A and B are shown apart, each in its own frame.
Chain A
Amino acid sequence: SKSSSQSAQTSQVKHAAYKAEDYVGSEACKDCHEDQFKFFSPTSHAKLTKLGSWKDKATGCESCHGPGKAHIEEGDPKKMISFKNKSSKEISETCLTCHSGREEHNNFRRGEHWRNDIGCTDCHSSHSPPRGRQLAASNVFISSANAQKPGFSDLRLMKNSEPQLCLSCHGETKHQFQLPFHHKVLEGAMKCSDCHNPHGGFELKQTRLATGADAACIKCHVDKQGPFVYEHAPVKTEGCIACHTPHGSSNPRMLITSRVAQLCLTCHSVAHGVGAEEPAGPQHNQNAQYANCTNCHIKIHGSRTSPVFFR
């Protein structure tokens, strides 16, 4: 039949090909799909029927699953669009029918999750509430370990709250958030999506941009924004991660090495007259207090007044 051959990704787009009388409304689905209806009805998807701008548009269950008349009359599951055997990309195309075109989702088709076949329904559930585990809340994992309390997953139809949802796949980052110096993600003060856009983006690591085209870090670390008369060029050209590990580190300042001098000298060792200038002479002895470069070059992210970042 036409509906069964309909690919999921075009289900919404092709609705115009169906006759209006083929649609029966979500209430008709309730009799057999009670659980799904129960969870779906309080969602923002279900409420679209009440919004003026969605008048005469396919809404409710049939907006994704296609018109239900034939399915109800014949009882044939093939008369509905089912996502059971669809790939993550195909499922996502259905969602993108409505959700693309927003700045947040515009790049999903070129994002890292897409590339690795992670789709919308791997993180979101259109007709079930979050299924966070019934944990007693930890002193550290304060905010979201406990499914007994509501969270943003309730509003965004997410399967679990951040950061638990993200860490369930990106477990390799978990240890970094428990090192002595780390961004306060597990404590609840920050979310993964504060810095990353899980729906894709033009930036490396799908980071968000701060004001204009600045790096995400600048949003909070405003004093690094500049512009300065004397820029430390790598801050802008290479980015913060040239020197810092953003998730966490045992090194103070979350630097990528534990000794400042060795970090600086990695660049500031002139090779064949090319590259960053090297420290001159004995006053930069590694066995003096000057070995810690930022003891003197304190304005290392850029200075308004000192070409060598002294003030």
Chain B
Amino acid sequence: QSPSPSPSPKKSDYSETPVETGEKAGDYTVISSIEFGYRGLSVDGDLNKYQSDLNYKAGPRIFDSSFLLKSTDGKGGLFDSLLATSTGWGADPQGHLRVSVEQPEWYRFDATYRRFKYFRFLNTFANPNWVFSPATFSVPPKSTTGEHGFNTRVKLGDFDLTLLPKNRHIRFNVGYSPERYSGPAFINYHVGGNEFIMLSEVRSRANDFRVGADGKLGPLNLSFLQGFRRFRDDTVVDLGVTPGINLNPAAASLTSFDRNEPARGSVNYTRFSLQTLVADRLDITGRIIYSKAEQNYSFLESFTGRNWNPRITGFPPSPPGATPNILNLGQYNLTGDTERPNWLGDLGLTFQATNKFRLSNTFRIETFEINGAALFADFFSVTRGTRTDTIGFNNRNVNTNIDYRKIQNTIEGDYQFNKNYSVHLGYRYGRRRVTEAISGFNLGTNAPAAIVPESHTEENNTHAILGGFKARPFNEWTLYFDAEHGTADNVFTRIGNYNYTNIRAKSRYSPTSRVAFNLALITKDNANPSEIAGVSLEDFGVSVKSRIFSSSLDWTATSRFSISTGYNYHWINSKSIIDYFFNSVQHPLGNSLYFVRNNFFFVESVAHVAPRVTLFTAYRINKDNGQGNRIADPTGNPGTLIASYPMSFQSPEARLAIKLHHRLDWNVGYQYYNYNESPIVGPRPQNYHAHLPYTSLRIYFGRRE
């Protein structure tokens, strides 16, 4: 977490506040605005990348709107306040509508509805074939066909009703959150000795219902929530086939394909919280959550094709996988179900030993288990020459299990010398055990064979110290510092705990209410230890270092001109020892390097160039130099792979707002996006320039001046 410079309230805060005007509407005051207009669009370069990044379209658009209705005397009828805000409806890829209605004595209703249009049509990103040795690739990459592309949309809602929201004794709440996801998407399927890009129709939906209550019972504050989520996925692949990525006539190909994989899931969850303050000094907060997620599914896949390479021993009669052949029918049929019971318990204690010294302890215990079971059947009929063979397997089952247990305890103290100086110091301990087990058959082949039941357990302990301070040497200048050093969980991501050191320092200097100058430095060092229990781990080490330097200046020079500007530098060096194959040669101690050298600069200004004219200008640029001149050496010994994403993304913008009337502004604006990436990212230049001029009207009711 970042320490956060906090501008303290100043007297001038009041003088700078906009004057609350509003217009009378019966017993209410209205403050409202709506901006609508038209945006044009011109894109040069890679339209697909533009759509993947931004996806703004040309057309009429509601830029945003906000509507606030407040009762004037605090005693509205049906409601005391109503606020509705929205952005991005019309030609935007994302839009939201938020509504909050409240009659404090009786109810509050909060609703959020969001819609996102997802688009993706990119290079198969950073495919090293393109980076290192295109000539050795036997199958030319399809530079015009992005894999995993999609053009989908998701709609999300949250509707929450709280009854008696300001009641001191009890409050009730009910909620509903729907989610709908749909649209065409490409999937990849590696099967039969080739790789196929198929078009699927994504269709999933989830509904979450919840009911609960908060209340006070004597000195205890209690909270209860019961939720029910229902989920269904009806994604299908039945829209025909595409040639395999390997176009060699001897390679496997499909002549038909159909997949149905309906899945149904549920999550029932219960949350209970308790909080109390004992003798004005001891805060006790407890929470316990139990959830049980379940999912069941059936999977039916049928296909026909040619030159099928089943890659299974003994089928069809030896030699296996001989081609040419005709796949008359291939079929997989699976059913399965899974469940995940999950307990989560938290207990927080804060003891105010004195008015200046507090001691806190936070304890967590979490357990979950994921149990999966599937039943498998398949059938294949292959004709080679005049001979046809069939093979099928039934009742091949598998059982999987993940068992997770973790406890964590953090104890920390903070001392407040006075309002300007405070320190905190703490210690965190964690213990985690994760077990993975599998038994039954290996369902990863066409002829599932029994596997030896196996179980693998990882257990680790972590320790960390944390501390920091806040100092305000002068009223105008505040410093924040905090640091953590210790070990972190990493059971499945490497062979031992990470050693980590995280340092964050921030400075905020605000000599007047019109100027604020922020500086921040955040460093993170993560690395494997050099040994565990006497075993050297240097050959498999990981070292990830990141540095973020951030600076910004906010200056309201006069009542007619203000400017914000800042610079941010993000630096990452990551090195891992990895085991990889290149040209069929194994590099067991290869180097994997990743670099970020990102410079971000922004400047935004507002100038009231005339009594009725406001000009907003901005320029923002992210420029990542990535790996610089470093060159990968994948064939060397031990060999080095390098990843980075050198690119620049800049966007100047200008907007002129002309006040035609106290109820009406006319806006005209222009935004430009320029994206350029280094050729090492991929063979298909994904650069683009986008011009987005727009004009709009903003209508006000009860405008703030």
On whether A223 and B167 interact (CB within 8 A), knowing A85-B419, A172-B520, A308-B444, the answer reads: no
A149 at the interface (CB under 8 A from B): yes
A–B Cβ pairs within 8 angstroms, 12 of them: A53-B166, A87-B422, A102-B223, A114-B414, A115-B412, A128-B14, A149-B700, A155-B83, A211-B229, A219-B177, A282-B584, A287-B583
Q: How far is the CA of A261 from the CA of B131 in the complex (A)?
A: 13
> A310 and B190: CB pair below 8 A?
yes
B360 at the interface (CB under 8 A from A): yes
User: Which residues of B164-190 have CB atoms within 8 Å of chain A's CB atoms?
Assistant: 164, 166-169, 177, 179, 181, 187-190
Stretch at the interface among B135-143, B323-331, B386-394: B135-143
> A46 and B74: CB pair below 8 A?
yes
Which residues of B lie under 8 Å from residue A212 when comparing CB positions?
A: 227, 267, 269, 271, 289-291, 293, 342, 344
Stretch at the interface among B63-71, B247-255, B312-320: B63-71
Which residues of B lie under 8 Å from residue A298 when comparing CB positions?
A: 148, 187-189
Mark B584-622 against chain A: 1 for CB-CB distance below 8 A, else 0. Answer: 100000001010001010101010000000111010101
A interface size (C-beta, 8 A): 151
A27 to chain B, nearest CB (A): 13
Q: How far is the CA of A225 from the CA of B295 in the complex (A)?
A: 10
A28 at the interface (CB under 8 A from B): no
B477 to chain A, nearest CB (A): 15
Q: Name the residue of chain B whose CB is nearest to the CB of A182.
A: B53
> A289 and B14: CB pair below 8 A?
no
> A148 and B368: CB pair below 8 A?
no
Partner of B562, one of A50, A133, A211, A237: A133
B44 at the interface (CB under 8 A from A): no
> A189 and B128: CB pair below 8 A?
no
> A47 and B104: CB pair below 8 A?
yes
Partner of A213, one of B206, B289, B493: B289
Q: How far is the CA of A86 from the CA of B582 in the complex (A)?
A: 65
> B64 and A137: CB pair below 8 A?
yes
On whether A143 and B64 interact (CB within 8 A), knowing A10-B280, A238-B493, the answer reads: yes
Which residues of B lie under 8 Å from residue A4 when comparing CB positions?
A: none
On whether A101 and B221 interact (CB within 8 A), knowing A231-B370, A257-B643, A278-B579, the answer reads: yes
Q: Name the residue of chain B whose CB is nearest to the CB of A270.
A: B579
Which residues of A lie under 8 Å from residue B225 when comparing CB positions?
A: 103
B606 to chain A, nearest CB (A): 5
Which residues of A lie under 8 Å from residue B36 when comparing CB positions?
A: none
On whether A237 and B492 interact (CB within 8 A), knowing A222-B179, A257-B643, A295-B147, the answer reads: yes
Q: Is the interface of B mostly helix, strand, loop or mixed?
A: strand
> A174 and B566: CB pair below 8 A?
yes
B322 at the interface (CB under 8 A from A): no
B interface size (C-beta, 8 A): 236
B439 at the interface (CB under 8 A from A): no
On whether A148 and B33 interact (CB within 8 A), knowing A288-B129, A305-B336, the answer reads: yes
> A226 and B295: CB pair below 8 A?
yes
> A169 and B16: CB pair below 8 A?
no
Q: Is the interface of A mostly helix, strand, loop or mixed?
A: loop
On whether A189 and B114 interact (CB within 8 A), knowing A10-B280, A88-B6, A305-B332, the answer reads: yes
The 7 A-B pairs of least Cβ separation, nearest first, read A212-B291, A101-B221, A212-B269, A229-B372, A175-B600, A271-B540, A150-B68
A265 at the interface (CB under 8 A from B): yes
Q: How far is the CA of A179 from the CA of B18 in the complex (A)?
A: 33
Q: Name the residue of chain A whose CB is nearest to the CB of B516.
A: A168
Partner of B606, one of A117, A136, A289: A136
Q: How far is the CA of A175 from the CA of B599 in the complex (A)?
A: 9
Q: Name the residue of chain A whose CB is nearest to the CB of B332.
A: A305
> B285 and A107: CB pair below 8 A?
yes
Q: How far is the CA of A115 from the CA of B484 in the complex (A)?
A: 13
A18 at the interface (CB under 8 A from B): no
On whether A307 and B655 interact (CB within 8 A), knowing A189-B95, A286-B641, the answer reads: no
User: Which residues of B459-503 have CB atoms within 8 Å of chain A's CB atoms?
Assistant: 468, 470, 480, 482, 489-495
B231 at the interface (CB under 8 A from A): yes
> A287 and B568: CB pair below 8 A?
no
Q: Name the residue of chain A whose CB is nearest to the CB of B74.
A: A47
Which residues of B lie under 8 Å from residue A88 when comparing CB positions?
A: 6, 419
A15 to chain B, nearest CB (A): 12
Q: How far is the CA of A225 from the CA of B205 in the complex (A)?
A: 13
B613 to chain A, nearest CB (A): 10
Mark A38-77 against chain B: 1 for CB-CB distance below 8 A, else 0. Answer: 0101101011101111100100000000000000000000
B57 at the interface (CB under 8 A from A): no
Q: Name the residue of chain B whose CB is nearest to the CB of A143.
A: B87
On whether A179 and B493 interact (CB within 8 A), knowing A44-B104, A87-B419, A169-B2, the answer reads: no
Partner of A109, one of B358, B420, B675: B358
Which residues of A lie under 8 Å from residue B156 when comparing CB positions?
A: 220
On whether A258 and B645 interact (CB within 8 A), knowing A50-B75, A107-B285, A228-B338, the answer reads: yes
Q: How far is the CA of A274 from the CA of B404 in the complex (A)?
A: 18
Which residues of A lie under 8 Å from residue B302 when comparing CB positions?
A: none
A147 at the interface (CB under 8 A from B): yes
B442 at the interface (CB under 8 A from A): yes
A299 to chain B, nearest CB (A): 9
Partner of B594, one of A128, A138, A205, A257: A257
> B70 and A295: CB pair below 8 A?
no
Which residues of A lie under 8 Å from residue B651 when comparing CB positions?
A: 140, 178
> A136 and B655: CB pair below 8 A?
yes
> B127 and A266: CB pair below 8 A?
no
B525 at the interface (CB under 8 A from A): no
B58 to chain A, nearest CB (A): 13
Q: How far is the CA of A178 from the CA of B599 in the complex (A)?
A: 12
> B179 and A220: CB pair below 8 A?
yes
Q: How far is the CA of A257 from the CA of B422 in the complex (A)?
A: 38
Partner of A252, one of B125, B221, B229, B416: B125
Q: How far is the CA of A121 from the CA of B168 in the complex (A)?
A: 22
On whether A269 and B579 interact (CB within 8 A), knowing A100-B283, A139-B671, A139-B692, the answer reads: yes
Which residues of B lie under 8 Å from residue A142 when comparing CB positions?
A: 63-64, 87-88
> B231 and A222: CB pair below 8 A?
yes
Partner of A116, one of B265, B295, B374, B482: B482
Which residues of A lie under 8 Å from residue B189 when comparing CB positions?
A: 298, 310-311
Mark A97-128 against chain B: 1 for CB-CB distance below 8 A, else 0. Answer: 00011110011011011111111011001001
Which residues of B lie under 8 Å from residue A288 when comparing CB positions?
A: 129, 137-138
B111 at the interface (CB under 8 A from A): no
Q: How far is the CA of A237 from the CA of B402 in the complex (A)?
A: 10
B4 at the interface (CB under 8 A from A): yes
Beyond A154-B31, A211-B229, A269-B579, list 17 extra A-B contacts (CB 8 Å): A44-B104, A106-B287, A179-B622, A180-B647, A188-B64, A209-B289, A211-B227, A225-B231, A228-B370, A262-B576, A262-B594, A265-B576, A271-B494, A274-B495, A289-B141, A305-B261, A307-B438
Which residues of B lie under 8 Å from residue A152 when comparing CB positions?
A: 83, 85, 98, 100
A236 at the interface (CB under 8 A from B): yes
Q: How far is the CA of A167 from the CA of B18 in the complex (A)?
A: 21
> B195 and A296: CB pair below 8 A?
yes
Which residues of A lie under 8 Å from residue B271 when comparing CB positions?
A: 212
B191 at the interface (CB under 8 A from A): yes
